[in-house]
Amino acid sequence: MYSNRKGQRVPDVIFRTRNDHEWVDVSSRDLFAGKTVVLFSLPGAFTPTCSSSHVPRYNQLADNFRRHGVDEIICLSVNDAFVMNQWQEDQQAYNLRFVPDGNGEFTEKMGMLAGKEDLGFGRRSWRYSMLVRDGMIEEMFIEPDVPGDPYEVSDADTMLHHLAPNAPSPLDATVFTRRGCGHCVRAKQALEASGIPFEELLLNRDFSDRTLRAITARGTFPQVFINGQNIGGADDLEAWLRNRHAA
């Protein structure tokens, strides 16, 4: 059973990090003193769930966390500084701070060391997240102690809901566009004006016209998707936004 340290101080350790080509020692005080910090810890860099879900979602929602008073989001793993730096670059996760717990000292003092010898990993971190204010652990979300690699409660959305339970859930928006498309510009401006972050996919760079027809059965631009729903073009989006604001 992994221990919940809610109400306790974070362990006092020194993390060996790399900045450019220099070793930089970072203490727990450096990371947590006088700050509101969300830390999530996971079994390993470049591993499937960590790379496809855990890191990307925290990185995506970083602005939402900041709006609710979080100064920094830390991704921690029992990996060395070289691996963690390369993983951050590979993920393009520059909204997060990647911290290497290479010797597992912080993880051990948190009571979160997990045996992953069956995978050839040795001792790694169990998956969890926590909210820390000025070095005190205010809340922890620890994955259930079951076989495998459960991913149910340490995700970004769960932590964000804890911070702001009455706030609307973040929207996931993607806009399929093409160059020289005025309606595409109008759709993007409408999303920006509404404060809805979006990903832009550009024709012949990120997808083909066949891909667009296969997904939407349409060949016009833009095509806007929000939370899995095909909203349509710029006019459709503006109508959707009016209805949303009127609700």
**143 near 150, Cβ under 8 Å?**
yes
- Of 119, 117, 141, 120, the C-alpha closest to 40 is 141
CB 98 within 8 A of CB 81: no
Count of all residues that appear for the chain in the document: 247
Is 237 in contact with 191 (CB distance < 8 Å)?
yes
CA angle 177, 182, 186 (to 5 degrees): 80
- Host H or E run for residue 88: helix 81-91
Q: Token match 């000292």: residue?
A: 105
Give the residue carrying structure tokens 């790694």: 124
**Amino acid present at 41:** S
Return the beta strands (E) in 45-96 as ranges: 72-77
Do 15 and 123 meet the contact criterion of CB atoms below 8 Å apart? no
**Quick one: how many helices (H) and strands (E) in the chain?**
10, 13
Q: Which of 50, 75, 181, 184 is catalytic?
A: 50
Q: How far apart are the first and last CA of the chain?
A: 45
- 181 is annotated as an active-site residue: no
Active site residues per annotation: 50
